[in-house]
Amino acid sequence: MLIKVTGGRVTVNDPSPRVIKLASTGPAGPAGTVIAGFGAWTATSFPLYSCVSYQGSSYISNAATLSSDVPGVSSKWVLLASKGSTGSTGATGAKGDTGATGADSTVAGPQGAGFEGITSTSTNTQSGSGTKTFALTTPLGYHALAVGQQVRVAVTATPTTYMDAIITAVSSSSMTVSVTYGVGSGTFSAWTVSVTGTRGATGATGATGATGATGSISTTGVTDNTSTTPYNSVQVNQYGQVVTGSTGLRTNYTSVTTTSTTLTSATTLVRVTDGTPAVTTLIVPTPTTALTGTIFYVRNDRKVTPTGLGISTAGGTVVVSSAGLASSTTIMLVCTGSAWVNFGISQTK
């Protein structure tokens, strides 16, 4: 007997007259198990042989489960397939087109630190030098002041009173400065701080101006105490110099014959003559502002010895030394407010 398999066909070549049994049907197998697929696991109950996915892995239940039976934790779930590992990063994609420009924001950004609105209520005395410390108040609670900056600390009510200074120490709430220049005086408790430039060096002295024109010469003399006729025999210019061509002296002086006489602004023409006792010193008032411009003309007409005459102030200051005014001479005394100026005018009566 020859059995040949060709192209899926079985050929039996057996010359003997017998029956050959090639195959027979086997017994029926057991019934299969029905598996129910439910997708992703949720916290609910599942029947036996339920298939779910959870966190990338798949599970099948080997018993009915409750909502508290979590796959991977409860033994009622059997792992079928684990979640695969993360694959490698793919190649970078091509650059996309530039998006459209977004709309402008309608919300203002925060204000940065600056120098505006910085004030102080510290009590300090205005000066041109020294160290000062100021407590600072700023609109935002912070500022941009720094050590080494030049600042001007001005009185808020009168900004023309101020101190220029250099910051030597600074914090968010105070600053210490070294004052380099100041204008005005006083003690204040309201200040405004601003940044300023460094004061430049003092410039060179300017050229001397041209000499002014010579003033006019007065021809009005001093009125004596006995006449309304002006005393114009001796004229002087604004420098106290005698003008050439002055006329002779008048004779209507007030005569002085006693040492107790003190000259006043009313007795501007004084004639010292011989008398008993002999006059050796005249007294003029102590210079004051009220006497500025007061003029005394003093004539020494004594003929007996001693012929000299001295003049002193009520305060004891010597104006003309003792025996300094010789006989037959006249001098002019002018009060400047702080002293008597002696212009010697030597003339013969």
pLDDT digits (tens, 9 = 90+) for 133-161: 999 988 777 888 999 999 999 999 999 99
- What average pLDDT does range 302-317 have in this prediction? 79
pLDDT digits (tens, 9 = 90+) for 188-226: 999 999 998 887 888 899 898 888 876 554 444 433 333
- Which of 326, 330, 333 shows the shortest CA–CA distance to 345? 330
- Residue ranges of the domains in the chain? 36-81, 118-195, 222-345
Question: Which string of b and e fits 47-71 if b means at least 16 CB within 10 Å?
Answer: eeebbbbbeebbbbbeeebeeebeb
Q: Which residues contact 18 (CB under 8 A, 6 or more apart)?
A: none
230: Cα separation from own chain's centroid = 65
DSSP line for 278-345? PP-EEEEPPP-GGGTT-EEEEEE---SSP---EEEETTS-EEE-TT-S-TTEEEEEEE-SS-EEEEEE
pTM above 0.75, yes or no: no
pLDDT digits (tens, 9 = 90+) for 47-87: 999 999 999 899 999 999 999 999 999 999 999 889 888 88
CATH architecture of 36-81: Ribbon (2.10)
SS3 (DSSP) at 179 = strand
